Amino acid sequence: MPSGLPLSVDAMGGDHAPNIVIEGAAIAYRKQPQRSFLFFGDEKKIGPLLDAHPGLKAASTIVHTDEFVPGNEKPSLALRRGKNTSMRLAIEAVKDGKASGVVSAGNTGAFMAMSKMIFKTLPGITRPAIAGIMPNVHHDVVMLDLGANVYSDAQELCEFALMGDAYARAVLGIEKPKIGLLNIGSEDMKGHEEVRGAANILREASNLLNFIGFVEGDDITNGEVDVVVTDGFSGNIALKSSEGVAMFFYRQLRTAMESSWAGKLAYLIAKPAFKQLRIKVDPRRYNGAMFLGLNGIAVKSHGGADGKAFANAIKVAYELIGANVNEKISQELNRLAPLMVTGVEHLFADIDHSEFANT
Amino acid sequence: MPSGLPLSVDAMGGDHAPNIVIEGAAIAYRKQPQRSFLFFGDEKKIGPLLDAHPGLKAASTIVHTDEFVPGNEKPSLALRRGKNTSMRLAIEAVKDGKASGVVSAGNTGAFMAMSKMIFKTLPGITRPAIAGIMPNVHHDVVMLDLGANVYSDAQELCEFALMGDAYARAVLGIEKPKIGLLNIGSEDMKGHEEVRGAANILREASNLLNFIGFVEGDDITNGEVDVVVTDGFSGNIALKSSEGVAMFFYRQLRTAMESSWAGKLAYLIAKPAFKQLRIKVDPRRYNGAMFLGLNGIAVKSHGGADGKAFANAIKVAYELIGANVNEKISQELNRLAPLMVTGVEHLFADIDHSEFANT
């Protein structure tokens, strides 16, 4: 059930703002014309773009500001001097109850830092994480963290696991999500201390969570897993590597089809099949990552997103709002309270530190 | 120039050994019939398989042993009690001057631990790394470490950089390989201490190495980089994620083509184009990862390799042997000695630890 409040949008974030932002909103609006929007940014730029979409224009309010967060600005600097930026004002509108959630394609670090400062973390959560959806042969998979944290200890990985669990239940509608810890081997002895420690905790909580153990990189797309839990460094690398390969593959396919008359003819004959493939593997369909663990809904779009991709980030935001994802996470935190107060130290006792690093 | 010595092969390693091992050797032998092989393993199983390939049989010697390293055995255990295993004997044959290099599809951790113990590391190298080849839109890319080490400090990452440099020069024939450090953002302020520390060292060595800075996951396949340097945890996850997406994409393509008459017709018409695509993206073409930094050539095949993939691992081994890759690494270590003795600590001075983790 969508909220009646408008969605708050940082119209100045991303490589092609505000054009693709308005274009994306127009696409999203055409699909769900009951939506409304609060755009933060330069009125002189946003206004004329909205004129091209009268329906969207009627459902939109522009809040003018000259300032925006540059794409490469340090988050600490953006926090200090970014009080009147489109990003900051867009987040505050949610905090002030004027909007149901916020979407930005701007500087990820600044967006996370500001969201964390303004929304605060949910009770019981140490660190927020960035969660996204990846395609899998069976269904969609939730993966987190995608880059909010470069280091994560065992306890934090467990928090990611339960936030991912709540996300998969609330948004993907999976009753008992299968949770896997990303590692470099499926045997228990592999991996570094943090993942082995997290596995020990999650294994003890098998009555609370459906923890299936370690998964490897290829299980993200080919495995029997619904939630892939990892630290932000590995998660970001897995995500970007996957996007790179998808783009590489698609380009190779196009080259193969364009390099001969037979290929061109085949393409014409099977255009719907190629289109179906494109839809299935198009990274734009997966654009829109949520900052999980905050007391407010913030969705990050790729900085290089086009209108179609930005429209998907808006769709993700509305799904999260409609699913009351943060309420579900809070309920999940209560349900899993026994897991979160477990002392971590004694669980490390059975890890043999003398073992080879790569075993 | 290939060595006249035979290649040492662990015939019992991998999920489908010894069948795919002999099948792979037969494929490799057909392409280069001047090669010879030393197979270690169960004579009763290897013998009948060789009978099917008289040419290969004439170029092969079987060294019988009943023992082999189980795929899930802890490396420490394999080291202690694996003295008569096919893997151990195959490695020792190289050490004893009876073979030019060794190939195994067996237990990665055990193969690395045994190779390290028997070959020893090259002078100046702290930790060996696993290096492999990945496809890129421009050319092939060397990536390391792919899983030998779960943690790597700044100095170790720099050692990987120079080993990767030597590999790219010796095997890929690139004069000044462009070296990138895998990170979660291209701005200098991003990433964790280890990668930022390594970047500081490598930047100071710009007269010795062509360091291009940080690269992200999608640069592996789409970027302007020849050598991608990372720790074994992230590297393994990047590799496996990429393989997963490639398989996913290929299956989706097949499904799209098979799900309609138009698709089937298109496939028939453009079969050569599809075949060309398959060859370009087939992970088997990239099978065969080298243990870099050891005083001996050891190549690891995927455990699940088929004959064609195993043949590629043999090809990789012969390329490395022919290129004298270890001699080149030693020369590179001498050339880069100034880099390796640089104190690391003072280079950390300019890192702002108070900065947000994800900035």
User: Band of the pLDDT at B21, cuts 50, 70, 90?
Assistant: very high
Range A275-295 average pLDDT: 86
Q: In chain B, which residues have their Cβ closer than 8 Å to the Cβ of A267? A: 266, 270
User: Which of A137, A242, A259 lies nearest to residue B273, judging by beta carbons?
Assistant: A259
Label residues B181-210 b or e (16+ Cβ within 10 Å = b). Answer: bbbbbebbbbbbebbbbbbbbbeebeebbb
Inspect the interface and report whether the beta carbons of A248 and B221 lie closer than 8 Å. yes
User: Which of A108, A148, A240 lies nearest to residue B217, judging by beta carbons?
Assistant: A240
Nearest to B146 by CA among B29, B53, B237: B237
Give the residue with greater pLDDT, A263 vs B111.
Answer: B111
- How high is the pLDDT of residue B188? 52
- How high is the pLDDT of residue B187? 57
User: Which of A109, A148, A237 lies nearest to residue B237, judging by beta carbons?
Assistant: A237
pLDDT digits (tens, 9 = 90+) for B332-349: 888 877 666 544 433 333
User: Hey, what long-range contacts does B167-170 have (CB within 8 A, 24 or more apart)?
Assistant: B167/B131, B167/B142, B167/B227, B167/B290, B167/B292, B167/B325, B167/B328, B167/B329, B168/B142, B168/B226, B168/B227, B169/B328, B169/B332, B170/B320, B170/B323, B170/B324, B170/B325, B170/B328, B170/B329
pLDDT digits (tens, 9 = 90+) for A157-199: 999 999 999 999 988 899 999 999 999 975 555 788 899 999 9
Inspect the interface and report whether the beta carbons of B72 and A247 lie closer than 8 Å. no
- pLDDT at position A221 over 50: yes
pLDDT digits (tens, 9 = 90+) for A80-97: 988 999 999 999 999 999
Closest chain B residue to A239 measured between Cα atoms?
B217
Measured CA to CA, the distance from residue B231 to residue B144 in angstroms comes to: 7
Give the residue with greater pLDDT, A180 vs B3.
Answer: A180
User: Band of the pLDDT at B263, cuts 50, 70, 90?
Assistant: confident
- How high is the pLDDT of residue A267? 84
Q: Enumerate the β-bridge partners of residue A143.
A: A132, A228
Q: In chain B, which residues have their Cβ closer than 8 Å to the Cβ of A217? A: 236-244
**What Rg do the C-alpha atoms of chain A give, in angstroms?**
21
- How high is the pLDDT of residue B234? 95
Range B102-111 average pLDDT: 94
User: Which of A147, A182, A253 lies nearest to residue B237, judging by beta carbons?
Assistant: A182
Inspect the interface and report whether the beta carbons of A184 and B109 lie closer than 8 Å. no
- Minimal C-alpha gap between A249 and chain B (Å): 7
User: Which residues have a Cβ under 8 Å from the Cβ of A118 and sit 6 or more positions away?
Assistant: A88, A91, A92, A95, A296
Q: In chain B, which residues have their Cβ closer than 8 Å to the Cβ of A234? A: 233-234, 237
pLDDT digits (tens, 9 = 90+) for A16-74: 999 999 999 999 999 999 999 999 999 999 999 999 999 999 999 999 999 999 998 98
Nearest to B11 by CA among B72, B65, B92: B65
Ranges of beta strands (E only) in chain A are 7-10, 37-41, 60-64, 102-104, 129-135, 140-144, 178-182, 210-215, 227-229, 289-292, 298-300
Among A77, A245, A274, pick the best mutation site for testing chain B contact (most B Cβ within 10 A): A245
Inspect the interface and report whether the beta carbons of A243 and B218 lie closer than 8 Å. yes
User: Band of the pLDDT at A353, cuts 50, 70, 90?
Assistant: very low
- pLDDT at position B74 over 60: yes
Closest chain B residue to A359 measured between Cα atoms?
B109
Handedness of CA A40, A42, A44, A46 (dihedral sign): negative
Inspect the interface and report whether the beta carbons of B241 and A241 lie closer than 8 Å. yes
- How high is the pLDDT of residue B344? 40
User: Which residues have a Cβ under 8 Å from the Cβ of B295 and sit 6 or more positions away?
Assistant: B119, B120, B121, B122, B326
- Minimal C-alpha gap between B108 and chain A (Å): 8
- How high is the pLDDT of residue A355? 35
- How high is the pLDDT of residue A126? 85
- Minimal C-alpha gap between B244 and chain A (Å): 4
- How high is the pLDDT of residue B123? 86
User: Which residues have a Cβ under 8 Å from the Cβ of B322 and sit 6 or more positions away?
Assistant: B1, B2, B3
Q: In chain B, which residues have their Cβ closer than 8 Å to the Cβ of A188? A: none
pLDDT digits (tens, 9 = 90+) for A100-133: 999 999 999 899 999 999 999 998 888 899 999 9
B60-64 sheet: strands from edge to edge: B60-64, B37-41, B7-10, B102-104, B298-300, B289-292, B129-135, B140-144, B227-229, B178-182, B210-215
- pLDDT at position B2 over 60: no
Residue B252: how many other CB atoms lie within 10 Å: 18
Range B310-321 average pLDDT: 95
Structure tokens at A161: 């696991």
User: Band of the pLDDT at A340, cuts 50, 70, 90?
Assistant: low
User: Band of the pLDDT at B174, cuts 50, 70, 90?
Assistant: very high
Closest chain B residue to A247 measured between Cα atoms?
B222
- How high is the pLDDT of residue A339? 64
- How high is the pLDDT of residue A283? 77
Inspect the interface and report whether the beta carbons of B244 and A221 lie closer than 8 Å. yes
Inspect the interface and report whether the beta carbons of A244 and B230 lie closer than 8 Å. no
What percent of chain A is predicted at pLDDT more than 90?
61
User: Hey, what long-range contacts does A77-85 have (CB within 8 A, 24 or more apart)?
Assistant: A78/A107, A78/A109, A78/A110, A78/A113, A78/A114, A79/A110, A79/A113, A79/A114, A79/A117, A82/A110, A82/A114, A85/A12
Angle between helices A271-281 and A232-258 (to 10 degrees): 170
| pTM given for the model | 0.89
- pLDDT at position B213 over 70: yes
Inspect the interface and report whether the beta carbons of B267 and A265 lie closer than 8 Å. no
Measured CA to CA, the distance from residue A157 to residue A54 in angstroms comes to: 46
Report chain B's mean pLDDT, rounded to a whole number. Answer: 88
Q: In chain B, which residues have their Cβ closer than 8 Å to the Cβ of A358? A: 75, 108-109, 112, 147-150, 232
Closest chain B residue to A261 measured between Cα atoms?
B270
Inspect the interface and report whether the beta carbons of A248 and B222 lie closer than 8 Å. yes
Range B152-170 average pLDDT: 91
- How high is the pLDDT of residue B356? 33
pLDDT digits (tens, 9 = 90+) for A248-284: 888 888 888 888 888 888 888 888 888 888 777 777 8
- How high is the pLDDT of residue B124? 82
Measured CA to CA, the distance from residue B125 to residue A312 in angstroms comes to: 48
Report chain A's mean pLDDT, rounded to a whole number. Answer: 88
Residue A193 sits at φ, ψ, to 5 deg, of: -50, -40
Q: In chain B, which residues have their Cβ closer than 8 Å to the Cβ of A256? A: 270, 273-274, 276-277, 280
Inspect the interface and report whether the beta carbons of A245 and B247 lie closer than 8 Å. no
User: Which of B185, B216, B270 lies nearest to residue A266, judging by beta carbons?
Assistant: B270
- pLDDT at position A346 over 60: no
Range B275-291 average pLDDT: 84
